[in-house]
């Protein structure tokens, strides 16, 4: 076959001792789907099970001494089958509850979380959840690793309203479900803390203070004159030694703020 672009691996054969015993394990304990169970005559059946995605597994009843000797040892003792999951902890717990025998404690390797288990015949399998790729676009990974364009989960859980926060929640709650964004934000803040000049404030009478006396240039000068809104907010409050008279836009435009 010169071009394999239109081909795929659909089914692999697994030798078993008994059809019903194998179905009970792969469907009942491992949670695979029974795709087909068709009688073929003379006691033979075409039995195919399959996970949610991927190739099917043909459960073939062994015949003769040679095939029976291979049941449970089709790969010479090494791991021969790999079952990928989007939630390792969930499936590991579920398998154990159904009596699946694991040969080791869960391991966390560079590529993902994995543990070796045996099927009913003794064949070795890997239960594995791969870590998401660096680009973060692998749709097969658990949703907790994906960036979602929705409310921060903290707002949903607590009932807080995003508009009540000038910037956002504190770091502890802001990106609890977005570990990748949290890491990027912290890297950005580290750079800013090392290179940016802190903001400075100066209380003065803008009508009489000469801004050019600062003797330097700024990227941004934020002027905060007494808007009418401020006077409304402090109505009825006693604020000594403060001129709370409001400014008009014309007075603000008349300021010599250029340096």
**pLDDT at 149 (0 to 100):** 43
Do 168 and 152 meet the contact criterion of CB atoms below 8 Å apart? yes
Give the angle 8-127-67 at the CA atoms, nearest 5°.
65
Query: Which sign, positive or negative, has the C-alpha torsion 138, 139, 141, 143?
Result: positive
Q: Are the C-beta atoms of 48 and 57 separated by less than 8 Å?
A: yes
Q: Domain residues of the chain, as ranges?
A: 11-130, 147-195, 198-259
Distance in angstroms (rounded) separating the CA atoms of residues 131 and 138 = 10
CATH 3.90.1280.10 given to domain 11-130 = no
Given a contact cutoff of 8 angstroms between Cβ atoms, the answer to whether 141 and 132 are in contact is yes
Give, for all 259 residues of the chain, the pLDDT tens digit.
455 567 888 899 999 999 999 999 999 999 999 999 999 988 899 999 999 888 899 999 999 999 999 999 988 889 999 999 999 999 999 999 999 999 999 999 988 999 999 999 999 999 999 988 655 444 455 555 544 444 556 666 666 666 555 555 555 555 655 667 777 777 888 887 777 766 677 777 777 877 777 766 666 667 666 777 666 666 656 666 666 677 777 877 777 665 4
Quote the tokens at residue 219: 């990227």
pTM, two decimals, is 0.50
């Amino acid at each position: 076959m010169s071009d394999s672009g239109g081909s795929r691996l659909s089914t692999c054969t697994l030798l078993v001792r008994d059809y019903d015993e194998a179905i009970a394990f792969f469907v009942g304990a491992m949670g695979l789907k029974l795709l087909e169970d068709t009688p073929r005559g003379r006691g033979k059946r075409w039995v195919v099970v399959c996970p949610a995605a991927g190739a099917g597994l043909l459960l073939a009843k062994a015949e003769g001494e040679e095939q029976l000797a291979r049941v449970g040892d089709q790969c010479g003792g090494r791991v021969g089958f790999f079952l990928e999951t989007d939630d390792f902890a969930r499936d590991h717990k579920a398998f154990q509850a159904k009596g699946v025998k694991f040969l080791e404690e869960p391991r966390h390797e560079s590529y993902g979380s994995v543990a070796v288990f045996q099927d009913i015949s003794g064949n070795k399998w890997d239960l594995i959840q791969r870590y998401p790729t660096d680009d973060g676009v692998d749709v097969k990974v658990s949703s907790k690793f994906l960036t979602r364009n929705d409310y921060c989960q903290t707002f949903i859980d607590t009932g807080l309203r995003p508009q009540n926060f000038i910037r956002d929640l504190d770091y502890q709650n802001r990106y609890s479900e977005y570990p990748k964004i949290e890491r990027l934000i912290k890297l950005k803040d580290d750079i800013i803390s090392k290179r940016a000049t802190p903001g400075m404030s100066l209380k003065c009478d803008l009508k009489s203070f000469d801004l050019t006396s600062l003797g330097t240039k700024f990227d941004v000068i934020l002027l905060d004159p007494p808007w009418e809104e401020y006077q409304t907010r402090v109505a009825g409050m006693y604020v000594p030694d403060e001129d709370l008279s409001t400014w008009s836009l014309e007075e603000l435009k008349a300021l010599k703020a250029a340096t």
